[in-house]
Structure 1
């Protein structure tokens, strides 16, 4: 048991995520934008050529449900519009004129964001993005629940079991 009550991995990840998101949202306010940080992965995927929720999901590390919910908010905020494709089963997502104007303003912010991430990684002496990517890949190979089961059963660590 953790007697010193140190924060767990999930708690630390959420805390760092909140610090980053709140800082970004404060900067959006300073820029005079009514913008939600959760729109960023969707907008960046659209910029990269994604046209449907499925394509956006494939380009992000978010669930289809989270993307669908975010797309709904973005549509309500007038950032994107949906248009039925030929077979009628899916809809194509496009930036509205407001969305295009927003992205033009955000491109400079996103460049600065990646510069800040590089600065942060230099300050802490760790390639934070690489560490998180490696952790995600390891958990994709063997999930956290499976790892817990192995520990509880006293089984040796390994993904081949």
Structure 2
């Protein structure tokens, strides 16, 4: 039986994230792969609001909010009220987060080399296929496509 797209994507994520998580463990790090987009954004930009982090990291605002909360709890981030708008939360790396960066960057380089080797073995690079799928879905959402498909099957 052919697996559906969602099942295939979940399985692919399990295969990738599981290996990346293991690489952090092997490096002696207690670190989750889901933190990486936020860590990378803050490594490039010293501080950002949660909304800015979501945009910089390419994740949704709810995902950024949840990730920031987890990372703060683990001591990787500091969160403070914004200078201009006290309702905004400004996020930056803690000393612990800063100290972790060199080890993480080494892991990220190895992960990039592994991803490049995967792309090289495929008929077409997975990274390009994913980027194209994201771009197409940003133009017309999967929800819109499901609604259109439902209209075609109803009498």
Give the structure with the larger helix fraction.
2
Count of residues paired in the alignment? 151
Instruction: Tell me the alpha carbon deviations over residues 20-78 of structure 1, each in whole angstroms, 9 at most, x when there is no partner.
Output: 11101111111111111111011011122151111111112321111111101101100
Indicate the SS of the match to 1:51: strand
For residue 83 of structure 1, report the CA deviation from its aligned partner. 1.8
The whole-number CA distance in structure 2 between the counterparts of 1:29 and 1:56 is 26
Q: Which among 128, 131, 142 is matched to residue 129 of structure 2?
A: 131
Instruction: Tell me the alpha carbon deviations over residues 97-129 of structure 1, each in whole angstroms, 9 at most, x when there is no partner.
Output: 110111111101111111111100011231111
1:82 paired to 2:89: no
Question: 1:28-67, aligned counterparts within 5 Å?
Answer: 28-49=24-45, 51-67=48-64
Unaligned runs of 5+ in 2: none
Question: 1:1-161, aligned counterparts within 5 Å?
Answer: 5-49=1-45, 51-86=48-83, 87-154=85-152
What TM-score results when the alignment is normalised by the length of structure 2? 0.90
Q: 1:151 to 1:91 in 2, by over 3 A?
A: closer
Unaligned runs of 5+ in 1: 156-161
Q: 1:93 to 1:149 in 2, by over 3 A?
A: closer
What TM-score results when the alignment is normalised by the length of structure 1? 0.87
Indicate the SS of the match to 1:82: strand
Name which structure has the greater RCO, CA cutoff 8 Å, separation 6+: 2
